[in-house]
């Protein structure tokens, strides 16, 4: 082919010289030349592109080492390209089971719309693309919590959409680990103070304010966990405690002086009333299940938890005893325990603080 082009150009030059035609100074556009079933492009200066890309009339072509315009699939610099029957580079379309991008390169190992193309660039219809469901919100089950030093509590997360396809790794941090530490939603109260626990997933965050107290009253009450329920009992010396006896023991062991042995109704009258939202560890919750008097009392220890000495009556007591039948030496399942607050506790309840009696 090249010999043929050299002869062609030499002939042209000889003819021009013989007939003394003057070549104009203006630049002439290149032209397509056909040789058998192949095409090559002759520039206006008589040369032709070979082994290179060339844009002609806003279309891209590739010319091989012999200067011929390639057609069909061709691997160029480790990438596959497709050229139509006229040699025009194909872009941004499916070609059978393969897809070429906007630069003409065949795509591999990626999603094209809802189809996956494999490492060879072929469409794989066995792989289904999940619908993209963005994360809309992230919340915690508590916005604030109060804990005794050394206590633990668990925060629960909820996010929308539940079936989000976005990354679901939850990260937990504490603004002050010396007050409260957190690991996978489990909070550990370390020292007195306030810290903010943050849960984050993607671009969404949720926070909970943790207040840690070191209530000596609560600690004393917790030492009596599993102590036997005894009607009128005020401490270990009586073989156990009843509901008000538990609080009397916890308070008086820490310097509180009431000047009398208080029952639940008296605690309600003696204490400084606070709101449900103002409850702090060491406050008392006086409950009224029926009538006008307060019949039961609980010690609040934070995190919606209480310590209480309770008798469930004959239907709950393992010995079938009512409250006033529990005497020193009784051994049954009525006892002091730690439990969550429930709705019955809060019906007509009074929340009181006894700090004015601390000596």
Residue 138: phi and psi, rounded to 5, are -140, 130
More confident residue, 217 or 159: 217
Under the banding of pLDDT at 50, 70 and 90, the label for residue 283 is very high
φ/ψ bin of 329: left (φ > 0), alpha (ψ from -120 to 50), beta (otherwise):
left
Cβ partners under 8 Å of residue 292, min gap 6: none
Q: How far apart are CA 105 and CA 107, in angstroms?
A: 6
Is domain 2-124 in CATH 2.10.270.10, yes or no?
A: yes
pLDDT reported for residue 359: 87
Whose tokens are 């596959």? That residue is: 80
- Highest average pLDDT, of 3-17, 168-182, 242-256, 334-348, comes from 242-256
Q: Which two three-digit tokens encode residue 277?
A: 């939202």
Please report, rounded to a whole number, the percentage of residues in the chain having pLDDT higher than 90: 69
What length does the chain have?
359
Per-residue model confidence (pLDDT) at position 175: 97
- Cα–Cα distance measured from residue 177 to residue 295, given in angstroms and rounded to the nearest whole number: 41
pLDDT at 133: 66
> Which top CATH class is 137-213?
mainly beta
Q: How many CB atoms lie within 10 A of CB 106?
A: 20
Report pLDDT digits (tens) over 237-270.
999 999 999 999 999 999 999 999 999 999 999 9
| pLDDT attached to residue 26 | 36
* Residue of 172, 169, 168, 183 whose CA lies nearest to 206: 172
Do 145 and 302 contact (CB within 8 A), yes or no? yes
> Which residues have CB under 8 Å from 32's CB, separation 6+?
39, 40, 41, 42
Confidence of residue 166 (pLDDT cuts 50, 70, 90): low
Q: pLDDT class for 8, splitting at 50, 70, 90?
A: very low
Provide CB contacts within 8 A for 188, sequence distance 6+: 150, 151, 152, 180, 181, 182
Q: pLDDT tens-digit profile of 314-329?
A: 999 999 999 999 999 9
Contact residues for 290 (Cβ-Cβ < 8 A; gap 6+): none
Average pLDDT of the chain is 88
Backbone angles phi, psi at 232, to 5 degrees: 80, 0
Reduced to 3 states (helix: H, G, I; strand: E, B; else coil), residue 220 is: helix
Is residue 82 pLDDT above 60, yes or no?
yes
Domain boundaries, the chain: 2-124, 137-213, 216-357
CA gap 150, 185 in Å, rounded = 16
339, pLDDT greater than 60? yes
Termini Cα distance of the chain = 113
Q: What is the mean pLDDT of residues 164-170?
A: 62
Tens-place pLDDT, residues 268-279 = 999 999 999 999
Q: How far apart are CA 61 and CA 56, in angstroms?
A: 7
How far is the C-alpha of 170 from the C-alpha of 204, rounded, in Å? 10
CATH code reported for the domain at 216-357: 3.90.1720.10
Q: Indicate if the pLDDT at residue 203 is higher than 50.
A: yes
Q: Rg of the chain over CA atoms, in angstroms?
A: 43
Whether the Cβ atoms of residue 54 and residue 60 lie closer than 8 Å to each other: yes
Give this prediction's pTM. 0.54
Cβ–Cβ contacts within 10 Å for residue 48, how many?
19
For the residues 137-162, what does the mean pLDDT come to?
Answer: 85
User: Which of these ranges, 131-135, 148-152, 305-309, has the smallest mean pLDDT?
Assistant: 131-135
Report, as an integer, the average pLDDT of 1-28.
38
Name the 3-class secondary structure at 100.
Answer: strand
What are the Cα distances from residue 136, in Å, to 68, 130, 200, 201? 56, 17, 13, 11
Instruction: Tell me if 351 sits within 8 A of 283, measured CB to CB.
Output: yes
Q: What is the pLDDT of residue 164?
A: 55
How many other C-beta atoms lie within 10 A of the C-beta of residue 30?
A: 17
Which strand (E) or helix (H) includes residue 249? helix 243-252
Higher pLDDT, 212 or 169: 212
**pLDDT per position as a tens digit, 22-56:** 333 333 468 999 998 899 999 888 889 999 999 99
So what's the pLDDT on residue 37? Answer: 87
């Amino acid at each position: 082919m090249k010999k043929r082009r050299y002869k062609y150009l030499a002939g042209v030059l000889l003819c021009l010289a013989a007939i003394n035609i003057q070549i104009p100074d203006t630049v002439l556009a290149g032209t397509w030349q056909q040789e058998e079933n192949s095409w090559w492009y002759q520039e206006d200066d008589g040369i032709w592109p070979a082994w290179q890309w060339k844009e002609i009339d806003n279309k891209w072509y590739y010319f091989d080492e012999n200067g011929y315009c390639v057609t069909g699939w061709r691997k160029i610099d480790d990438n596959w390209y497709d050229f139509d029957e006229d040699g025009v580079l194909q872009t941004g379309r499916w070609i059978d089971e393969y897809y070429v991008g906007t630069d003409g390169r065949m795509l591999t190992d990626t999603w094209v719309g809802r189809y996956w193309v494999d490492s060879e660039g072929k469409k794989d219809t066995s792989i289904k693309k999940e619908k993209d469901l963005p994360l809309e919100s992230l919340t915690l089950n508590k916005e604030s919590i109060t804990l005794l030093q050394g206590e633990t509590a668990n925060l629960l997360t909820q996010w929308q959409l539940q079936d989000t396809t976005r990354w679901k790794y939850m990260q937990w941090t504490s603004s002050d680990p010396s007050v409260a530490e957190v690991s996978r939603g489990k909070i550990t109260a370390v020292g007195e103070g306030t810290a903010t626990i943050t849960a984050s997933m993607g671009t969404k965050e949720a926070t909970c304010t943790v207040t840690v107290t070191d209530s000596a009253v609560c600690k004393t009450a917790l030492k009596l966990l599993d102590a036997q329920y005894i009607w009128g009992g005020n401490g270990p010396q009586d073989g156990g405690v009843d509901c008000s006896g538990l609080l009397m023991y916890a308070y008086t062991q820490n310097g509180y002086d009431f000047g009398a042995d208080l029952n639940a109704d008296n605690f309600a009258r003696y204490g400084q009333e606070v709101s449900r939202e103002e409850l702090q560890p060491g406050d008392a919750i006086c409950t009224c299940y029926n009538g006008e008097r307060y019949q039961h009392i609980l010690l609040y220890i934070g995190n919606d938890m209480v310590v209480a000495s309770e008798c469930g009556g004959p239907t709950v007591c393992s010995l079938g005893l009512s409250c006033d039948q529990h005497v020193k030496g009784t051994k049954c399942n009525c006892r002091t325990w730690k439990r969550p607050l429930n709705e019955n506790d809060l019906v007509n309840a009074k929340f009181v603080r006894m700090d004015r009696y601390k000596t």
